[in-house]
Structure 1
Amino acid sequence: MIHPVPSTAPAAPGGSPSPGGSAGRLAALGCLMLAIILVVGLGGYFGIGALMSRGDPRDGEETSEAPTSPVQTFGKDEAQPFGTPLLFTPRDFTGEVVVTLDAMDWQAGGEIAEANTYNDPAPAGSRYIMVTATLENHADVDFGIAGGISVQYVEEDGTVHDYEAVVVPVYEDTDDVPAGGSLQWQWAYLVPEDAAEGGHFVLSNFAPELEDGQWVEAA
């Protein structure tokens, strides 16, 4: 007896999907997982590359700025920021000196008292301020600070102060800046106790007119 051939393949026992259908779904799932892995991998690659191209943001903070070149300007209208190297040409001196104001102390009474017990304390109603500078001698002969440069302090209200004859913390046995060398120096001033922080320092060749000097903002 001849039986008719069924038109469709019989279902798997128990009604479960056929092996061919399961394999197809597994292959599709594998392709999907592979696509996800590729997308994640490429995203990470390009993200790392972008970070590397930008560099470490701290690099800019750790890199110090290059020193500025010495400038030579005169008058209050051309006052330079504190810390600017000033090209100073002393009178009766064959050469140039670069002066840089390095540090400012608005309450220097304690340091001056410790520097020397013979220093007079600030009078009542006054206080000491002190500025520190580095002088670089670019000449081939020594440069004497005492007779070669005047540094006055000018308050915001225009009051002018000459430096005081006191022993300062940074003390040198000589005020000569050696030829081709440098020397750190300090000047102290007496100002009113309630004087505002600010004003200017004026470097000059003992000129009678302040406007003829080189002005630096007091920081």
Structure 2
Amino acid sequence: MAKEKMDYMDVSPKQVVSAATACIPFLENDDSNRALMGANMQRQAVPLMNPEAPFVGTGMEHVAARDSGAAITAKHRGRVEHVESNEILVRRLVEENGVEHEGELDRYPLAKFKRSNSGTCYNQRPIVAVGDVVEYNEILADGPSMELGEMALGRNVVVGFMTWDGYNYEDAVIMSERLVKDDVYTSIHIEEYESEARDTKLGPEEITRDIPNVSESAT
């Protein structure tokens, strides 16, 4: 193959491990069993209502989010003309003979509150504003488990390694009640149920919340 048809990239130590493992900070200082457990736990995370990117990262968070397919990326360089919760409009900026002029209008529809195959909520949120100039492959809208173009599987909370009257024995974890009240780790799950009403010889079936053969006075 001709070298003109090939794309070269720098060699990185992160290429030796998987994407999930490459997101573990200070991997070389971790026990291999704990690194394997951490990588598996990242795959089991569910999207939060208000995710937060980690304070300490490896630099792979943006790459993992962009290449996940859940984010909306710009197909061409352009300027954002319109932003809504379910749509982003970007006017292409084309350069010819050193002069930049406007081109076609690209429309990017966003998925809103869809059900994923695992029953979680699939929602895309715009992170650009009108007037922003975006480059090719730049993230326009976050997907689930993303914050401002970076992978965000959880929240940054204060953690204490200590005993607490035996309640955190072995693998038990004590969590503040405020985390529950403030929806810090709240996630949305969508379940779909189907019910059929058929026409029978005795007449059409009726879908009702009433209990069969029980009077209203009894309920």
Q: TM-score, with normalisation over the residues of structure 2?
A: 0.24
Q: TM-score, with normalisation over the residues of structure 1?
A: 0.24
Q: Which has the larger radius of gyration?
A: 1
Bigger fraction of residues in helix: 1
